[in-house]
Amino acid sequence: MDKIYLNKYILSYSDILNILYYLEKTSNKKLIRENTNCYTTFNYKIETFKIGNGKNHVLLIGCTHGCEIITTYFVLEFIITLLKDEKLYNSLKNKFTFHFIPVLNPEGYVIVSSNLSCNYKNITNKKLEEISKKYISLYNTDDFIATHNIKEKKLFLGIIKNNLQNLSNISLRKSVECILKKCNLNEDYLSIWTANGLGVDINSNSIHKFKEMKQLRKAQKYANLRYNDIPVTKPSPMSYPGIKTFKDCPENFFLYNYIMNLYSLNCDEKLIAIFSYHSTGGEIYGYPDMLCTNASQLNLQLKGMLEYSKYTNYKLINEKLKYGVMDYYRIKLNDVLTLTIELSRLNGNPIAPLSNIDTFNKEIIANKKAVIHTIENII
Ligand SMILES: [Zn+2]
């Protein structure tokens, strides 16, 4: 648990799949690939895996937002740790079954990582740190300028060289090109793409408070801070919720069915916790909508948040409008701890968290421990 197994941080979508398939093949049936048979609009299969045979089921979700590549890295590192750390595996395998969705948003991941891979395919970690440092510094300057309500060309966009041609899936490329054009944005914005290939943000395409969220976006018109030139009321790189829940968002529909399936397991089997990963901020979102929550669920959420923060020191956030995709499950599922974790304290997707890899690794280790510690304490 105290070490990092995966020392490569810029991974293309096919790198991710190859690692997972290789692990499955060589794991002696410890890692099982599930067959969900669910596909995104542009035909990417949403892959899920599981480890363990315990009656307590736990779900880890990475990459709801395309540019949050470190969340997929974390899920992968977590899987590898369970497979390689014999002692840990043996202590957990009969108590828990871990389920993994390493990439909930394959299209978003492909849009961002195709360009990152072309830029930094064989980069050393030292060089990656240097570039990421520069990136975060410009990013912060952009934020500073944006707080004065100024819309000018963003400095951070010049660092990663993006090109639509790096997207090999032609229909996905055409869709993205069309969205950028209609938003009056250029290819530079590919590296901060959070939505799916149709420009719908999975997190905003929520079940809970969807109407309120649409109203909020209508009032906002554009995204926050350094993203103040990105529209949020039509298909765009980020924060557009779509026309209605599940529409143009098969990823969200898949997630709903996958979670409900785990929730309805019979006999002794029980879904006990869901951890949905985002970046960045070093925060924990777990306060449920008080109006729709019973006391025991609220207590579980509070306990889970406190346990998780013991290892990470992440801040507990009680946001006013609870519209995110996990907010529905926080109130709908009884006795299931449902947390949304913002990995990394460094702002600036996709690469800023990698500006100090040593610190990043320590945070990843802390989060691995936090998951294990939290689930051990809620059963
Ligand atoms: Zn996010």
Q: Which domains does the chain have, with CATH numbers?
A: 13-45+60-107+249-378 (3.40.630.10), 120-227 (no CATH)
Cis peptide bond prior to 340, omega within 30° of 0 = no
The Å distance, Cα 353 to ligand 1 centre, comes to: 14
The Å distance, Cα 319 to ligand 1 centre, comes to: 15
pTM of the entire structure?
A: 0.97
The Å distance, Cα 268 to ligand 1 centre, comes to: 34
Task: Report pLDDT for 357.
Answer: 96
Task: Say how far apart CA 91 and CA 376 lie, in whole Å.
Answer: 11
The Å distance, Cα 64 to ligand 1 centre, comes to: 6
Fill in the DSSP letter of residue 44: -
Q: Is the separation of the CB atoms in 211 and 162 below 8 Å?
A: no
pLDDT along the chain (379 residues), means of 10: 95 97 97 95 98 98 98 98 98 98 98 94 93 92 82 83 95 98 96 97 94 92 87 96 96 98 92 96 94 92 98 95 93 96 91 95 97 97
Task: Say how far apart CA 100 and CA 51 lie, in whole Å.
Answer: 9
The Å distance, Cα 62 to ligand 1 centre, comes to: 10
Task: Report pLDDT for 356.
Answer: 96
The Å distance, Cα 323 to ligand 1 centre, comes to: 13
Task: Say how far apart CA 278 and CA 250 lie, in whole Å.
Answer: 19
Q: Is the separation of the CB atoms in 273 and 375 below 8 Å?
A: yes
What is the CB neighbour count within 10 angstroms for residue 357? 17
Task: Report pLDDT for 264.
Answer: 95
The Å distance, Cα 23 to ligand 1 centre, comes to: 27
The Å distance, Cα 160 to ligand 1 centre, comes to: 20
The Å distance, Cα 27 to ligand 1 centre, comes to: 31
Task: Say how far apart CA 164 and CA 147 lie, in whole Å.
Answer: 30
- Residue of 224, 221, 230 whose CA lies nearest to 146: 224
Fill in the DSSP letter of residue 11: -
Which residues neighbour ligand 1 (ion) by CB within 5 Å?
65, 278
203's tokens: 């997190």
Q: Which residues contact 194 (CB under 8 A, 6 or more apart)?
A: 65, 66, 67, 68, 108, 201, 203, 237, 238, 239, 349
Task: Say how far apart CA 183 and CA 245 lie, in whole Å.
Answer: 22
The Å distance, Cα 148 to ligand 1 centre, comes to: 24
Q: Which residues pair with 276 in a beta bridge?
A: 61, 340
8's tokens: 């490569």
Tell me which amino acid residue 16 is.
Answer: I
Q: Which residues contact 83 (CB under 8 A, 6 or more apart)?
A: 23, 27, 30, 31, 51, 89
What is the CB neighbour count within 10 angstroms for residue 315? 13
The Å distance, Cα 114 to ligand 1 centre, comes to: 19
Question: Residue 288: which region, alpha, beta or left (left: phi > 0; alpha: psi -120 to 50)?
Answer: beta
Helix (H) or strand (E) holding 26, with range, is: helix 13-26
- Residue of 312, 371, 367, 351 whose CA lies nearest to 70: 351
Q: Is the separation of the CB atoms in 351 and 357 below 8 Å?
A: no
Phi, psi of 28 (to 5 degrees): 60, 45
The CA-atom distances, in angstroms, between 53 and each of 181, 197, 265 are: 49, 35, 13
The Å distance, Cα 86 to ligand 1 centre, comes to: 32
Task: Report pLDDT for 26.
Answer: 97
Q: Is the separation of the CB atoms in 304 and 336 below 8 Å?
A: no
The Å distance, Cα 197 to ligand 1 centre, comes to: 16
Positive or negative: CA dihedral 239, 244, 248, 250: positive
Phi, psi of 114 (to 5 degrees): -60, -45
- Residue of 83, 73, 106 whose CA lies nearest to 6: 73
The Å distance, Cα 200 to ligand 1 centre, comes to: 13
The Å distance, Cα 54 to ligand 1 centre, comes to: 30
Task: Say how far apart CA 201 and CA 216 lie, in whole Å.
Answer: 14
- Residue of 169, 164, 143, 171 whose CA lies nearest to 155: 143
The Å distance, Cα 278 to ligand 1 centre, comes to: 4
Task: Report pLDDT for 267.
Answer: 77
